[in-house]
Structure 1
């Protein structure tokens, strides 16, 4: 092939790329709107803030000890399913896993309405673990069907849809319980209808043609154009993740936001080609890519520091969210008093989102990384300690709101700090690894603190343990900070 022929092909490839971008940018509205509808209705679940009162009430008639046995199943199933679903999401190209998430939600709420007994509720938690593990597909899908210039907008829209849905669900539940005396059973019926709407909407999503590992397309775009567009995409994603909260409620655990450089979609994927001919070899290639990427990702001290905080704090955050309703029920039984769980969840989610949004506009020097994490970890430990020891429902509510605001604010900073040390395509893997480590730690914490074979603490003992856990995180970052300062001092003196 002569130089002239090569140049002509490169020019044709660049034209094809630009044509794809124009087509993609003109078609972003439909998949984005449909995904936002799915995200909104997936999260309009007015019964969720009242789950523990429902399980302890006449509908299920479970004891507090039985409820303590049920919730850990979610942790274990989430941990076991996270990695297989992550790979399945990439291989199946997102949409089937979003549909699976909707189906699992419907099964969860049908069981919540009609299943009885401890074993049935454990199966219910398994299906809910499948739901949360599948959220990677929701947060990844949109980047494979829209032009990279729209990444920042669509990220904001999709995050906003889930947040608004969660808030609407919580407020609706509180209003119906407080003012119309709707039973918790009928709140669950409303939740089932909403998730069914989301499930139906998910089936109309367009099927993506590419993914991050199994369906990477062989592009004809010239190399410089790819680099320029990739840099632009990376810049926009950094802004997006800095201004958008990653965790609102339990759904937060996973927050994996992969991005892609746009490529023409008229070529067969290289990895798909191998997988079709030799499935085992194709999977091995993908796993080798994952391992190599993993080693590259954690070579930065800043990334390692923030990832450590992410995993450790998310572990504690999940535990607090899992068991806070049991604590509230012990302080103020819902059968005897008016409770405001729904309003507290809504307020904490909205204020947390505002804090996360504001943080996106604040410059944070890397010098203060460990100091900030130390101080805020101490505040979180104090908040959890107050929740446990004061035993006033209003102090519990306020402390819980403060806890969630600080967590959402810091997880947003962590997202930006991690993203700033990565190329765009590595986001999903790092966020997935951090979430996996968090779940592994949560499993260990659950086994030690909650399970009857170990400490088997009552709910107040559990929250005391969680406050000590967050205090230990603060001590860890005190050590990290001291180590970093000593290293910097040695470098300065040696120079």
Structure 2
């Protein structure tokens, strides 16, 4: 994310303390919260844990009856949590997130039976929906000229925490021989530490809508909400906007990709478990998650420094990336070799981070500050709504209730269809751009 442009007067912070000198403590506390909340070594091994002797649930129960509840809960809670976050001024909702995750992991340790785990997924959905409080809190207590710095700190804290959790989980399982139950104990302990640190956060005095904050701050908050999904959005004063670009028209396209991506990530563990059951061999889910996250972050950083005419060629690039994602998911689904599945998943995560970064950048460079929050808010809602629809039709036992391999075949087809849409739109944009250049050239010739 780019920092504030030169010439903009620094604004006093909206929170307690009033000035930029007080940014260090809340930032440090929020980073500590984000780090410990993300150190969850059991998460890459959730599916083997539920299917194993600890809980002894069936594949149908886990994939078709338990996991879908998270998606439905997330969608149902997203809007009311957004309003509550603003009205309550962030900190109470940060605490609610910590409490929701504590309940989730406590139930993972001690709950038994289908209904209990469906209830657990509701609390996990609440923990996911309340992410907005974490990514919004800091902007109410620091000056605008510190947004770039605190954003990088908070985002880095969660990424490092996630990586530490994934790597430590893999090491403890593969080297130390710890049980998956023990990994959940560590996850619960780490989340509890995060919850404790959140109590020391200073209470903000202002917010976006209910407590009088400018649209400038709203723009920055929504940008960071998008960054947490892997998009490094930047404001560039020197980026030329493509005339005729329809901003809102691109939002559903971006949302469609995100919905399928979330499905692949959510059910990848299930696919791996079917290809190579964890009870018969060592699994490396934690290592795969860590590697895909780190390499994806590097790829996003690199693409942010590539200079090209994204306004003209961006959609063609999106078409290519979507096709490669479709190929990776298809290979993951059909080869049925665990190492090929792992490698395809890493490729999928890397390319998807590139795809979503370019898509987000193309939209962002053509939006005014006031419209940015609206468009990306709609984008998030569309992605979640489509993911819910996919879950209801494809996954849920009350819908088609398809097996995991058929699900992934559908997801691969989904990305292939998106690539064709991007390709058609890209070709049309290129043709319009060249036609516009010819018209401008002819007009300049006539004027001469």
User: Partners in 1 of 2:344 and 2:91 — Cα distance?
Assistant: 39
Decide which of 322, 340, 362 is 2:306's aligned counterpart.
362
Decide which of 316, 327, 335 is 1:371's aligned counterpart.
316
Following superposition of structure 1 onto structure 2, how do residues 113-192 of structure 1 map, counting pairs within 5 Å?
113-192=109-188
Worse-matched range after superposition: 172-181 or 360-369: 360-369
Q: 1:81 to 1:476 in 2, by over 3 A?
A: same
Quote how far apart the aligned CAs of 1:454 are. 3.6
Following superposition of structure 1 onto structure 2, how do residues 272-291 of structure 1 map, counting pairs within 5 Å?
none
Q: 1:137 to 1:364 in 2, by over 3 A?
A: farther
Q: Deviations over 1:132-160 (max 9, x none)?
A: 11101111111111011111110000000
Who is 1:339 aligned against?
283
Following superposition of structure 1 onto structure 2, how do residues 95-494 of structure 1 map, counting pairs within 5 Å?
95-216=91-212, 246-247=228-229, 301=245, 303-304=247-248, 306-365=250-309, 366-424=311-369, 426-488=371-433, 491=436
Is the contact made by 1:246 and 1:411 (CA closer than 8 Å) also made in structure 2?
no
Q: Deviations over 1:74-103 (max 9, x none)?
A: 111111111111111111111111110000
Q: Deviations over 1:289-334 (max 9, x none)?
A: xxxxxxxxxx973533553342011101110111111110011110
Is the contact made by 2:314 and 2:362 (CA closer than 8 Å) also made in structure 1?
no
Q: 1:19 to 1:195 in 2, by over 3 A?
A: closer
Who is 1:34 aligned against?
29
Decide which of 78, 83, 92 is 2:79's aligned counterpart.
83
Taking structure 2 as the reference length, the TM-score comes to: 0.87
Quote how far apart the aligned CAs of 1:126 are. 0.7
Who is 2:59 aligned against?
64
Is the contact made by 2:318 and 2:359 (CA closer than 8 Å) also made in structure 1?
no
User: Partners in 2 of 1:462 and 1:81 — Cα distance?
Assistant: 26
Quote how far apart the aligned CAs of 1:453 are. 3.9
User: Partners in 1 of 2:301 and 2:109 — Cα distance?
Assistant: 37
Following superposition of structure 1 onto structure 2, how do residues 41-60 of structure 1 map, counting pairs within 5 Å?
41-60=36-55
User: Partners in 1 of 2:96 and 2:362 — Cα distance?
Assistant: 32
Q: 1:438 to 1:15 in 2, by over 3 A?
A: closer
Quote how far apart the aligned CAs of 1:173 are. 0.4
Quote how far apart the aligned CAs of 1:410 are. 2.4
User: Partners in 2 of 1:309 and 1:152 — Cα distance?
Assistant: 28
Q: Deviations over 1:369-419 (max 9, x none)?
A: 210111100000000000001111111111100111111122223333333
Who is 2:3 aligned against?
none
Is the contact made by 1:75 and 1:442 (CA closer than 8 Å) also made in structure 2?
yes
User: Rg: which structure is higher?
Assistant: 1
Q: 1:161 to 1:19 in 2, by over 3 A?
A: closer
Quote how far apart the aligned CAs of 1:490 are. 5.1
Who is 2:4 aligned against?
none
Structure 1 residue matching 2:302: 3-state secondary structure: helix
Structure 2 residue matching 1:34: 3-state secondary structure: helix
Q: 1:426 to 1:93 in 2, by over 3 A?
A: farther
Worse-matched range after superposition: 79-88 or 452-461: 452-461
Structure 2 residue matching 1:301: 3-state secondary structure: coil
Q: 1:479 to 1:338 in 2, by over 3 A?
A: same
User: Partners in 1 of 2:12 and 2:410 — Cα distance?
Assistant: 56
Is the contact made by 1:93 and 1:207 (CA closer than 8 Å) also made in structure 2?
yes
Q: 1:80 to 1:360 in 2, by over 3 A?
A: same
Who is 2:443 aligned against?
none
Tell me how many residue pairs correspond in the alignment: 421
Quote how far apart the aligned CAs of 1:458 are. 1.2
Is the contact made by 2:93 and 2:133 (CA closer than 8 Å) also made in structure 1?
yes
User: Partners in 1 of 2:12 and 2:55 — Cα distance?
Assistant: 58
Unaligned runs of 5+ in 2: 1-7, 235-242, 441-448
Is the contact made by 2:10 and 2:143 (CA closer than 8 Å) also made in structure 1?
no
Q: 1:302 to 1:38 in 2, by over 3 A?
A: farther
Taking structure 1 as the reference length, the TM-score comes to: 0.79
User: Partners in 2 of 1:350 and 1:485 — Cα distance?
Assistant: 34
Worse-matched range after superposition: 418-427 or 71-80: 418-427
Q: 1:135 to 1:486 in 2, by over 3 A?
A: same
